Amino acid sequence: MTGIFITGTDTGIGKTAVAAGLAGALKERGYSVGVMKTVQSGAALRNGKLYSQDAELMIKAACPCDEEELICPVLLREALAPDIAAKIEGKTIDPGLIKNAYMELERRHDIVVVEGAGGIAVPVKDRFLISDLIVLLGIPAIIVARPGLGTINHTFLTIEYAKKCGIQIIGVIINNYRGGMAEETNPEVIKDLTGITVLGIIPHDLKIDVDRGEPGDIVALVHRHVDIEAIIRF
């Protein structure tokens, strides 16, 4: 396994933090780790230039020395699905460009942690979805899910759709755990329903702020709460 695709059951569930934490944890275990944000919608502006705040958080965690155009090959200003944001800006997203960037990162590193955009069925270009991008890259996925009510349904549907697409699933990571009965019972139900392992439950960390580039304690939390060995062995 030379790459891991971090996708999710929805947007805003902490895929970036999980990707950063996993990248940092793998680096601390001695791996050369590359990071990649395939498409950044809602890219921020700094000194008149767009940049990926998601990629910056992952870079802080793993400290790769790769070029910006490889780490985030597609930057879009509008915080919308990539396909819609690109059309508004008069741009065309080329999946081949993303794959070429990934292949170069794969050549340079032992493993590349790749983050998608939104959920697994978000359109990248016309009817080419994030799921199609995962298949194009040919790497297995970790699904990030929220902890509370509704996550059984969202996670089950995401897993079933991924299986239908032929995507290998390493496991599920439940992020932003704050306590509660649903949060405590969901992992076992998800495993029983889907046959997919819950790799870990990451607790809420107030110090994590993607927009400000603050990774908080995410690397330590991944070390402590995620079964990294199961990921490495996959």
Domain boundaries, the chain: 3-233
pLDDT one-digit tens code per residue, 118-176: 999 999 999 999 999 999 999 999 999 998 888 999 999 999 999 999 999 999 999 98
The answer to whether 37 is a known catalytic residue is yes
Provide CATH code, domain 3-233.
3.40.50.300
54 labelled ligand-binding: yes
Task: Please enumerate in sequence order all residues whose Cβ is within 8 A of that of 58, keeping only pairs 6 or more positions apart, or say none.
Answer: 16, 19, 20, 23, 35, 37, 71, 113, 115
186 labelled ligand-binding: no
Q: What are phi and psi of 35, to 5 degrees?
A: -125, 150
9 labelled ligand-binding: no
pLDDT at 66 over 90: yes
Rounded-to-integer distance, Cα 40 and Cα 77, Å: 8
pLDDT of 121 = 95
pTM comes to 0.95
14 labelled ligand-binding: no
Identify the active-site residue in 15, 37, 87, 163.
37
94 labelled ligand-binding: no
